[in-house]
Amino acid sequence: MVQSKAASVDDFMTEVSPDRRPALDRLRTLCLQTFGPEHELMAFGMPAYGPPKLPWIAFNSQKQHIAFYVGQTAMDAFAERLADIDHGKGCIRWRKPEKMDFALIADMLEHIREHRL
């Protein structure tokens, strides 16, 4: 799935492959706990959190990996902890859902919340 046409995050989650669903459910739960359900939306064909035109974060189930889009500021703040994780400009990628570092994700979400809300 590169870009979903799902109308809601619930609909998006039904499209996710079963092997990735538990990790994406956990990621979504962390996002909802951090930002609240009022900030959840579909943007650019993926679940996102924040204002509709420029969400703070987003995630997606790509063909080869799970992508977590957090922006460069958060990437810079956690550079040391990202050293051994595949990442690029503002995006972290996990080829295997079981390798996702949910402690790091929670810390990054909190960092973004503190700087955006």
Distance CA 20, CA 28 (A): 12
Average pLDDT over residues 12-33: 96
Amino acid 53: pLDDT? 87
Q: Structure pTM?
A: 0.93
Q: Using 50, 70 and 90 to split pLDDT, how confident is the model at 2?
A: low
The per-residue pLDDT for 5 is: 87
Q: Tell the burial category of 114 from Cβ atoms under 10 Å away from its Cβ (0-12, 13-18, 19+).
A: exposed
**Mean pLDDT of the region 4-15:** 93
Per-residue pLDDT band for 1 (boundaries 50, 70, 90) equals very low
Domains of the chain in sequence order? 9-116 (3.90.1150.200)
One DSSP character per residue, 4-44 reads: ---SSHHHHHHHS-TTTHHHHHHHHHHHHHHH-GGGEEEET
* Residues 97, 75: Cα–Cα separation, whole Å: 20
| pLDDT at residue 94 tops 50 | yes
The DSSP call for residue 53 is S
